[in-house]
């Protein structure tokens, strides 16, 4: 199929020393050749070669960049189309400039995921792979990568397959009662349907519960650090990311705007947000910061409250405790290298079931315990950490939710005394929806099951 030629920056903005502008489509090579000056035009280069040269802005005839250009001719490319990758020195400005040139000369800016969409439309990959790859593209942490990988490899599929088989056996049983009414198979009763339906609903529920985790794994658990000024919030962020990302000074009120960083803490991806210290203040700038911190607490999925062990608990500290009540939160009592002036027993009492961790971020102590506490909060309960078959794709979540609804409706119908074959309509629907998650076709499987499970004949 012939599509137009698209282009996009393919390395994450600002990261790495080299930036790549990638083109895909029938005009990739001609467009690149309009800009490229090297030993030979790219049109003459063999496929899958890297060519050294310069990029010229044809409008002003001026050299823009020193580049390495990969020539990749279809169909042995990611999209199965002709592709060109222009490697240039990093830096947002230079990469952007190259992209701009390419766009001015006939390419169209790709939409997010459009390369993968082409790979799919050109038959390179199938739908569920495409979705997995889309998630891979968006994967922000190492763990999320694993989820995406697993999905491609079908861990989730296995679980759903099992669930479907159970439904199928039930449906086949109802069918045999309908199609072979005098056959001596036991009648499937509403009672049995209700029990089976209940079990299946629970299974779907369990899968859906992992959906929340799956989403977090993909997008990161938004984690807000709050505390009074100067207690060590920015130090906490730095020590979790093992890098000096936020400015740390001994001047209270250093952090004025929100600082955002991604980090993977023992398998839990965090989207860390360092905030301005919270205190009642007349200073207008700070006042806004405080308001924002309060709002962030509301949005955060995890709140890290930092207090200073070197000072007695203040009214503000207690206000923060109140603010985070009912949230997933961890209390960090920092600066325990200094003299102990806080009433720790009282802190623990106020904290209730929120874990309390004592640290010295200056001396890098207590960070292990803190990381462990974060992991514990995330992977608590019935989460199976081992198989990692999280549902993380929104289409799958929607389908599972529908499947659950279908089972619910079947149960309600059974409750109301609807005939078995009507109740079964929704069970079959659930089975079909689950099939859609893994891209299975309905086909003959029910009929196969019918004749495998029961001995029918004349």
Partner 1 sequence: MSYHGGEFDVIVVGAGHAGVEAGLASARMGADTLMLTLNLDAVAFMPCNPSVGGPAKGIVVREIDALGGEMARNIDKTHIQMRMLNTGKGPAVRALRAQADKFTYQQEMKETIEDTENLILRQGMVEDLIVENGAVRGVITQTGAKYYAETVVITTGTYLRGKVILGELSYESGPNNMQPSVNLSYRLQEMGFEMERFKTGTPPRVNGNSIDYSKTEKQPGDDVARAFSFETTEYITDQLPCWLTYTNEETHSLINDNLQRSPMYSGMVEGTGPRYCPSIEDKIVRFHDKPRHQIFLEPEGRSTKEVYVQGLSTSLPEDVQHRILKSVPGLENVRMMRPGYAIEYDAIVPTQLWPSLETKKISGLFTAGQINGTSGYEEAAGQGIMAGINAALAAQNRDPLILDRSEAYIGVLIDDLVTKGTNEPYRLLTSRAEYRLLLRHDNADFRLLEKGYQAGLISNDRYERFKNKEKEIDAEVQRLRKAVIKPDETVNQVMADAGTAQMKEALAADVILKRPEISYEHIAQLTPPPKTLAPEVAEQVEITVKYEGYIAKQMEQVDKLKNMENKKIPENLDYMQINGIAYEARQKLSEVRPLSVAQASRVSGVNPSDISVLLVYLEQGNLQRTSEPETETPASN
Ligand X SMILES: Nc1nc2c(ncn2[C@@H]2O[C@H](COP(=O)(O)OP(=O)(O)OP(=O)(O)O)[C@@H](O)[C@H]2O)c(=O)[nH]1
Name which of 333, 395, 387 is nearest 360 in CA terms: 333
Q: Does 169 bind partner 1 (CB under 8 A)?
A: no
Ranges of beta strands (E only) in 397-451 are: none
Applying CB under 6 A, does 279 fall inside the site for ligand X? no
Contact of 21 with 99, CB cutoff 8 Å? yes
DSSP state of 57: E
Question: What would the x/- binding string for partner 1 be over residues 94 to 133, using CB under 8 A?
Answer: --------------------------xxxx--xx--x---
Rounded to a whole number of angstroms, the minimum distance from the CB of residue 225 to ligand X is: 8
Residue with tokens 């036991």: 186
Least Å distance between CB 438 and partner 1? 11
- CA dist 228 → 66, 185, 192, 202 (Å): 50, 72, 59, 44
Choose the contact partner of 337 out of ligand X, Mg ion, partner 1, none; CB within 5 to 8 A by kind.
ligand X
Whether 352 contacts 360, CB under 8 Å:
no
Angle at 339 between CA 338 and CA 344, to 5 degrees: 105
> Quick check: 234 binds Mg ion (CB under 5 A)?
yes
List binders of Mg ion among 60-99 (CB under 5 A): none
Q: Which residues are bridge partners to 63 per DSSP?
A: 56
Does 425 bind partner 1 (CB under 8 A)? Our answer is yes
Residue 176 CB: number of other CB atoms within 10 A?
21
Question: Which listed residue (152, 231, 290, 430) binds ligand X by CB under 6 A?
Answer: 231
CB of 363 to ligand X, least distance (A): 7
**3-class secondary-structure state, position 213:** helix
Which residue from 66, 111, 179, 291 is in contact with partner 1, where contact means CB under 8 A? 179
Interface stretch with Mg ion, choices 6-14, 210-218, 226-234, 367-375 (CB under 5 A)? 226-234
Instruction: Kindly give the interhelix angle for 190-219 and 394-415, rounded to the nearest 10 degrees.
Output: 160
Which residues 334-373 are close enough to bind ligand X by CB under 6 A? 334-335, 337-338, 360-362
Report the C-alpha gap between 232 and 370 in whole angstroms: 14
Q: Residue 334 binds what, of ligand X, Mg ion, partner 1, none (CB under 5 to 8 Å, by partner type)? A: ligand X
- C-alpha–C-alpha distance, residues 79 and 118, integer Å: 6
Least distance in angstroms from the C-beta of 426 to partner 1: 9
Choose from ligand X, partner 1, Mg ion, none: what does 53 bind? Cβ within 5-8 Å by kind.
none
Calculate the CA dihedral of residues 169, 170, 175, 177 and round it to 10 degrees. 110
Q: Is 247 in the site for partner 1 (CB under 8 A)?
A: no
Comparing CB distances to ligand X, the nearer of 149 and 356 is 356
Question: Residue numbers of the site for partner 1 (CB under 8 A)?
Answer: 1, 75, 80, 120-123, 126-127, 130, 171, 175, 177-184, 416-422, 425, 439, 441, 443, 446-447, 450-451, 455-458
């Amino acid at each position: 199929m012939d599509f137009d030629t698209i282009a996009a920056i393919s390395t994450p903005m600002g990261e790495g020393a080299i930036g790549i502008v990638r083109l895909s489509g029938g005009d990739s090579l001609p467009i690149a050749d309009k800009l490229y000056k090297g030993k030979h035009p790219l049109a003459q280069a063999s496929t899958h070669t890297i060519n050294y040269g310069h990029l010229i802005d044809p409008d002003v005839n001026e050299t823009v960049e020193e580049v390495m250009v990969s020539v990749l001719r279809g169909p042995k490319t990611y999209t199965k189309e002709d592709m060109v990758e222009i490697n240039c020195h990093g830096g947002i400005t230079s990469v952007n400039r190259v992209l701009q040139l390419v766009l001015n000369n006939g390419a169209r800016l790709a939409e997010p995921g459009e390369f993968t969409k082409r790979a799919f439309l050109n038959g390179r990959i199938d739908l569920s792979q495409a979705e997995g790859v889309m998630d891979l593209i968006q994967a922000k942490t190492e763990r999320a990568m694993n989820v995406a990988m697993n999905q491609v490899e079908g861990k989730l599929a296995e679980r759903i397959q099992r669930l479907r088989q159970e439904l199928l056996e039930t449906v086949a049983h109802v069918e045999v009662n309908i199609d072979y009414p005098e056959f001596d198979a036991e009648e499937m009763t509403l009672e049995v349907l209700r029990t089976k339906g209940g079990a299946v609903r629970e299974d779907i529920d369990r899968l859906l519960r992992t959906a929340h985790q799956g989403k977090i794994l993909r997008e990161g658990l938004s984690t807000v650090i709050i505390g009074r000024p100067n207690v060590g919030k920015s130090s906490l962020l730095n020590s979790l990311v093992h890098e000096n990302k936020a400015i740390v000074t001994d001047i209270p009120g250093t952090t004025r705007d929100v600082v955002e960083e991604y980090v993977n803490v023992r398998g839990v991806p965090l989207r860390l947000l360092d905030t301005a210290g919270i205190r009642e203040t007349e200073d207008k700038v700070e006042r806004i910061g405080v308001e924002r911190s309060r709002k962030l607490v509301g949005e955060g999925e995890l709140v890290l409250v930092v207090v200073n062990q070197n000072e007695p608990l203040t009214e503000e500290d207690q206000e923060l405790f109140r603010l985070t009540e009912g949230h997933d939160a961890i209390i960090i009592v920092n600066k325990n290298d200094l003299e102990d002036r806080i009433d720790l027993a009282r802190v623990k009492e106020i904290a209730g079931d929120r874990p309390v961790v004592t640290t010295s971020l200056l001396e890098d102590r207590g960070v292990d315990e803190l990381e462990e506490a974060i992991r514990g909060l995330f992977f608590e309960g019935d989460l199976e950490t081992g198989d990692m078959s999280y549902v993380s794709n929104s289409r799958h979540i929607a389908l599972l939710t529908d499947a659950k609804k279908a089972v619910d409706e079947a149960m309600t119908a059974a409750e109301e005394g609807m005939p078995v074959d009507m109740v079964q309509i929704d069970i079959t629907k659930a089975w079909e929806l689950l099939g859609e998650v893994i891209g299975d076709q309905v086909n003959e499987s029910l009929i196969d099951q019918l004749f495998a499970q029961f001995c029918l004949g004349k």
